[in-house]
Structure 1
Amino acid sequence: MAVLGKPKSVTCTCYELGHTWTPSCLRASTDVLLEVLKQALKIYGTLYTVAGILKKRDLRYFKEKLLREIAQSVLFLTTNGTLFISFFCIWRKLLGRFFYSTTGFVAAASASLTAILLERKSRRGLLAIYMANVATETAYRMVLSRGWIKPVKHGEVLLFSIASAIYLYFFRKGHLAEQTKGALSFLVGKDELPIAEREEGPNHRRHGNTLISRLSESSTFQRINKSLQTTPKHFLCQHSYGCVHYVTKSFIKMFGLGYLVQGGVKLLGALPRIYRNPSAVWHAIKHQDNFKLGAFLGCFSAIFKIVNCLLRWLRNKDSEVHGLLAGFLAGWSMLWYKSSTIALYTAYKLAEVLYFKGISKGLLPYIRCADIIIYSISTAFVFHVAVFEPHNLRPAYWNFLLKVTGNKFGTMNRRLLEPLYKDAARIAPDFWPDYDMRYTSLTKDSLLRRS
C-alpha cells in the first residue's frame, strides 16, 4: 500500500498499463462494453426470470415488467464496467500520469456513482450491502496479508452467531420488517413469533411440512411420527405436538432443503461435463457440500427451537430474551458450512435494521442517498484492490471480474505498478502483454534494466 506523503506515480501510457490488448482508448471501452453487456444479459436474464417463477409472478409481470427490469440492471452493470476503463484513461490524460489513487479508486468511484444512479432504487440498498460485504472481506484479507493482525479462529462463525442472536431477539418480539420476518419464519417457523404476528392460515400446522407429510405416508415413518408427536410439551409452547417432534420435524425439513438447494447448484455446474463424463451427475448429487449446507440449515433451525423449548421447561416462563441465547447458539451451526460471505451479509443487514430503528426513535440522523454513497465507495475500493493487489480479493469475486470483462481485467501489466505497490504483480508474476511495438518501446528487458 502506498504511504502517505508525496504522491507516487508512474508515467506509462494507458495502453502499456491498462488496455494492453489494444492501443486505442475508445476501442478498449467498446470491447469492455460488449463483454460486460453479454455477461450482464446472461446474469440478469436468468436471475429475474427464475426469481419471477419462484415468486409466482403473474403473466402481466412477465409481459410488462420483466424485460424492463432486466434492461435497467443490464444498463447498470454495463455502465459500471465500461466507464471504469473509460475513466481510467480520462484521468491519465488529464493528469499526464498514473497516481496511486486515480489509477483505481478515483476511476472506479466515478464509474460506480454514475452506474448506481441508473439502477432501480429498490435494488440500490441490496447492491450497497453486497459491495460493502465484499469490501470488508477484502480489507480483512489485505491486513492479514500484511501481517498486521492474526486471523481470528472461527471469526466468521462468531460474527454470524452475534448477528443471529440479535435478529432472533427481534424476531421473538415481532419487531422486524415483513420481508425479514418472512425469511426467518421460513427458516425457524412461526411458532416462536408473538401470537399476533403469526398470521397463519387454517392449514398452517397440518400442512406446513410437505416433506414430513410424505415421509409419514409410509407405515414406519408414520409410527415414528406419531411417537414423536406424543412426546411432552410445555404448556407455554405454541407448537401443536411434543417438543421432540417440533425439533425433529424442523431439522429434517431444513436439512432436506439445504441438501436439495446445494445439490441443484452442483448439478447445474456439472451439466456442461455430463456428455464427456456422465458420472459427474452422481458426484454432484453426493457432493459433501450438499450435506454441509443441509446440516447448517437443519442444525440452525433445530438448535433455535431446542433452546427455546428447554428454557421454557427450565424457567417455567417464556420470554423474547430467550431468542438471544437461542440465536447465538444456533449461529454456531455455521461450523458445518463456514462462509464469511453469509456472516458479513447478515451483519450488514442487521446494521441496516438497527440504523432504521435508530432513525425511527430519533436517535440517529437519516442520511439521504446512503445506499448510493456506500455502493460507490465500496465498489471503488474493491476495484482499486483489483488493480493493485487482486490476490487479496475474494477468489470468487476476482473470477467474476475476469468473466464479466472477458478476462480483460487480468491483462493489465501490473509489473508497471510495482513502484506504487511492490506486490502488484503477485497474482501473475511472469505475465507480460503481447504489445504492438508500433505504439510502445516498452519491453520486459527494458523494465528490468530500469528497475
Structure 2
Amino acid sequence: MALFSKPITVHNTCYEIGHCWSPYCVQASFDVSKIVFQEAFKLYGSLYLLAAILRKKGKSYYLKKLLPETLQSSFFLTVNGTLFLSFFCLWRKLAGCYYYYNTFICGIPACAVSLLIERKDRRGLLAVYLTNLALETAYRMAKFRGLIKPVVHGEVLLFSIASAVYFYLFRRESSLPQSTISGLQYIVGSAECPRSATSPGRSSNNNEEPERSRSRTGLAVLDKMVARLEASPRHGMCQHRGGCVLYVLKGCYRLFGMGYSIQAGVKLLSSLSRLHKQPRLLFDALFNKDNFRLGAFLGSFSGLFRLVNCVLRWVRNRDSSFHGLLSGFVAGWSMLWYKSSTIALYTATKMAEMLYFKGIDAGYLPYIKCADVLIYSVSTAVAFHAAVLEPHTLRPAYWKFLIRVTHEKFRHMNRRLLDVFGVQSSLMFPDDWPNYDPRFTNITPPS
C-alpha cells in the first residue's frame, strides 16, 4: 500500500483537492472562518447555557462569564479549522505537491496554536476526548487494511478492565480525587466507599433512600414485598440499609430509570424541530429501544457491582479493596447491553491519565510541560488526516460534527484525486466531482 511503498505524490492544486468551492486560498479560509464561528457559537452557547442551568450557576455567571467563555471556545474551534485549511494551502505552495502524510503534518501546528486560545481548564478534557478518538481511528484504519482482526466484545473487555482499576482504587482510601469518588458514588452508591471517604457525621449510605420514609401508595402487596426485602439477611460488614437483595435491586432500578430518561431526553431534543409535522416522533423518542439499552446497561452495572460485593462479603467474611477490582470487572460486562467503543475508550484514557498523574505524584514518572497541547495536537491531526484521506475510518459521530461545522465543505473535497494513495479515499463518495471554474483548472473526472 501507499504508506509502505515508495512515496506517491499528488501534484493537483489546493483548489482542485481541498477548497473546491473557491479558487482563492484567502477567500476559502475566510469562508471557513465565518461558517465555523457561526456553528461553534451556536454549539458552545447551547452547551454552556445548559451546563450553567444544571449546575445552578448564579446571576453573575450569566452576566459576566457565559458570553466570554462561549466566545473563547468559539474562537478556538474557528482558528483550528481555519489554520488547518491555511496550512493545507501553504504546504502546496512550499512543497509543490501532496504526500500521504501531509494532512497529518499540517494538522499538528494548526491544532497546537488553536488550543492555546481555549481555556486551560478545558484543554485536558479535549486532549482526553481526542486521544480516544485518535485511538479508535487508528484501530479502524488497521482493521480496514486487514492488519488486525477485531476482538469479540473487545470494547466491553476494555471497559471492564478500566472499571476494575477504577473501583479497586475507589475501595482504597484516598486513592482517587474527590470529584471522581463522588461520580462513582452516584453510580454504585456510597455504601461501597471506604468509611473515611464519607462526610463526618453522615451515614455512609447517604444516597440510600429509606423505604420506610416513603409515602405509601396503598398497594399492600408491594408494601409487604418491600418489607420482606428490607428484613432479608444483611452481612455484618455491609454498610447499606436493609437486606442485601433489596440493596442490589435498588441499584438496578435507580440507574435503569436514569439511563432510560437520559436517552429518551436526547432522542426527544433531537426531534423537537420535526415534532409539529410528525407527532409520532414523540412516541418514537420516548419508547426507543436505545432507551431501554442504556437503562439496562447502567442498571445492571450498578446491580452487578453491588451483588458481587455483597456475595464476596458473605463468602470471604471480610471486606477489602480487592472486592472493588473483581466487582468492577464483572459489572463492566453490563456494556453488552449498550456496546460503545466511545465510552470504553474514554474510560480507558481517563484511567491512563489518572494513573499517569499518580505516577508523577509518586515520583515514578516525569512531568511533561504542555502535555495536553501536544496530545491534543497529535490526536486531532490523526482525526483530520482520516477525515481527508480515509473518512470511512472516522467515527461517524465525529464525521457528522465536521460536516455540520463546515456546512459540508469538508464533505466536498475531491477525494477521487487522492485514491492514488491506495486507501480508497473516495469510498464514501465514489461519484462526487466538484463543479470547477474552467478559468482555474481543466481537470476532468478519471475514467
Tell me whether the two structures share a fold, i.e. TM-score over 0.5: yes
1:387 corresponds to: 388
Distance in 1 of aligned mates of 2:268 and 2:218: 29
User: Following the alignment from structure 2 to structure 1, what is the Cα–Cα distance between the partners of residues 227 and 310?
Assistant: 20
SS at match of 1:411: coil
Whole-angstrom distance in 1 between the partners of 2:188 and 2:301 = 8
Structure 1 residues 64 and 204: CA distance shift in structure 2, 3 A = farther
The alpha-carbon distance between structure 1 residues 215 and 71, as it changes in their structure 2 partners (threshold 3 A), is farther
Partner of residue 306, structure 1: 307
Alignment match, 1:443:
444
- Aligned equivalent of 2:361: 360
Identity over aligned residues, as a percent?
53
1:103-140 deviation digits (Å, cap 9, x = unpaired): x1111112101111111111111101100111111111
Q: Deviations over 1:349-372 (max 9, x none)?
A: 000111111111111111111111
Structure 1 alignment gaps of length 5 or more: none
Q: Which residue in 1 is equivalent to 2:244? A: 243
The aligned runs of 1:24-35 (5 Å cut-off) are 24-35=24-35
- What is the aligned partner in structure 2 of residue 156 from structure 1? 155
Q: What one-letter code is carried by the residue in structure 2 that aligns with 1:77? A: L
Look up the equivalent residue of 1:291 and give its one-letter code. F
Number of residue pairs matched by the alignment? 445
Aligned ranges for residues 260-339 of structure 1 at < 5 Å?
Answer: 260-339=261-340
Letter in 2 for 1:155: G
**Structure-2 separation of matches of 1:204 and 1:191:** 5
> What whole-Å deviation, never above 9, does each CA across 1:18-39 have from its counterpart, x for those lacking one?
0001111111111111111111
Instruction: Tell me how far apart the structure 1 counterparts of residues 338 and 290 of structure 2 sit (CA, whole Å).
Output: 8
After TM superposition, the score normalised by the length of structure 2 is 0.96
Distance 1:234 1:324 in 2: 20
| Distance in 2 (alpha carbons) for counterparts of 1:218 and 1:267 | 33
RMSD between superposed Cα atoms in Å: 1.9
The one-letter amino acid of 1:274's match is: L
Offset of residue 396 of structure 1: 1.1
Moved more, 398-407 or 414-423: 414-423
| Bigger Cα displacement from structure 2, 420-429 vs 153-162 | 420-429
In the superposition, relative to structure 1, how do residues 159 and 180 fare at CA in structure 2: closer, same or farther (>3 Å)? same
Q: Distance in 1 between matches of 2:57 and 2:379?
A: 33
Q: Deviations over 1:67-106 (max 9, x none)?
A: 121111111111111111111111111112222222x111
TM-score, normalised on structure 1? Answer: 0.95
- How far apart are the structure 1 equivalents of 2:284 and 2:211? 24
**For 1:215 and 1:295, how far apart are their aligned partners in 2?**
27
**1:354-413: per-residue Cα shift (whole Å, max 9, x none)?**
111111111111111111111000000110111111011111111111111110001111
CA distance in 2, matches of 1:406, 1:287: 29
What is the CA-CA distance between 1:214 and the residue it aligns to?
6.1
Check 1:211–1:123 CA distance in 2 against 1; reply closer, same or farther (3 A cut).
farther
2: CA distance between counterparts of 1:210 and 1:26? 66
Query: How many Å apart are 1:225 and its aligned residue?
Result: 2.4
Deviation for aligned residue 1:347:
0.3
Please state if 1:108 is matched with 2:111: no
- Aligned match of 1:125: 124
Change (3 A) 1:311 1:58: same
The aligned residue for residue 11 of structure 1 is 11
Farther-moved stretch of structure 1 (74-83 vs 412-421): 412-421
Residues 1:93 and 1:254: Cα distance change in structure 2 (over 3 Å): same
CA distance in 2, matches of 1:84, 1:173: 45
* CA shift for structure 1 position 10: 1.1
Task: Give the aligned partner of residue 145 of structure 1.
Answer: 144
Q: Which runs of 5+ in 2 are unaligned?
A: none
Runs of 4 or more consecutive aligned structure 1 residues displaced over 4 Å after TM superposition: 200-218
